[in-house]
Amino acid sequence: MVTIEIGARLLDKRKSIPNLRPVLRQLCSEWKIDYSRVRGVVTDGGANIKGAVKEEFGEDKHISCVAHKINTIGQKVIGLYESNKPGSSDPAREEPPSDLPENESDIDDEVYTEEEPEDSIHTTLPRARADLRKLLRKLKRIIQFFRQSEVATCALMAEQITESGKEGLKLIQEVRTRWNSCFAMIER
């Protein structure tokens, strides 16, 4: 099996199906790829790129990226991304996910008759997940602040240069569809 990335293009317009199809056509033309030889095209889960691939190459040629699916599962587990309630514009202040249980005991139908010890797995896991979710949301708000303020970013860069003597590093904001970007955000 051979996997090849044949290109990445910056689009100056919306990434809609009609706008993506010519880009796919252009890439295939540049690489002299005969459509009849294409066995599959792997994409993330975006409806736009999936639709463009299906329309351009055929319904049976689209393959969803497993890494993106695993990333989505991880995000759902910690509940970092959920759809906003109507009127809510701040994703950092989202409510806990409705499709995840509030208590670990909600996962199955077992009834616990004994009172759980304070440090049992049934009380520790939900608390840890909530703490992680809270920490990541705070971190994202801090990064958002610096990315929206040129003055704050310059001050942060200057402080880093003063401390290390090296050029400062910009903060990294997690990108939902880029697996491992959460790790890069935390590490930076």
- Please spell the DSSP secondary structure of 106-117, one letter per residue: GSS-----SPPP
Instruction: Name, in order, each residue with C-beta under 8 angstroms of 148's C-beta and a sequence gap of 6 or more.
Output: none
Separation of alpha carbons 120 and 75, rounded Å: 24
Dihedrals φ, ψ of 82, to 5°?
-140, 160
What mean pLDDT is predicted for residues 32-47?
Answer: 91
* Three-state secondary-structure class, residue 87: coil
Look up the pTM and report it. 0.49
pLDDT digits (tens, 9 = 90+) for 55-74: 999 999 999 988 888 877 87
Cβ-count burial of 113 within 10 angstroms (0-12 exposed, 13-18 middle, 19+ buried)?
exposed
Cβ-count burial of 114 within 10 angstroms (0-12 exposed, 13-18 middle, 19+ buried)?
exposed
Separation of alpha carbons 175 and 121, rounded Å: 31
Which region holds residue 95: left if phi is over 0, alpha if psi is between -120 and 50, else beta? beta
pLDDT range class, residue 97, cuts 50, 70, 90: very low
What mean pLDDT is predicted for residues 111-139?
Answer: 68
What mean pLDDT is predicted for residues 83-112?
Answer: 39
Confidence check: pLDDT of 92 > 70: no
- Tokens describing residue 76: 């759902």
